[in-house]
Amino acid sequence: MSDKIKYVSNIQNKTNQIALLGSDLRAIFEVYFDRGYNSGGADPITDGDLTEMELTANDVASFITLAEQFGNFLNNGAVFESDYAATVNKLRTDI
């Protein structure tokens, strides 16, 4: 396999990951509001719900904003500028 084929194959793999991530984030965004997990919703996520995770409801809301903005990015919508890397770093568990 040539270097160019490997390179383009890697692009295709990353594109597949982006597409799947976009679908997953859209579902997370929709469920958050459909289940009333949002502030003011029927069953909001509270800081007390997350005590054992050492997170706040605001941390979750920040991720929901990230999910929304990722969808906007993929669908040619206006994307609100923010420090989304800080949100990712706060919520990630791999490091």
Give mean pLDDT, residues 1-29: 97
Domain layout of the chain by residue ranges: 3-91
- pTM, 2 dp: 0.91
Q: What is the pLDDT of residues 27-61, one digit of tens each?
A: 999 999 999 999 999 999 999 999 999 999 999 99
- Per-residue confidence at 87, pLDDT binned at 50, 70, 90? very high
Residue 60: the pLDDT is 98
Residue 13: the pLDDT is 98
* End-to-end CA, the chain: 34
Q: How many residues does the chain have?
A: 95
CA angle, corner 83, sides to 77 and 89, nearest 5? 120
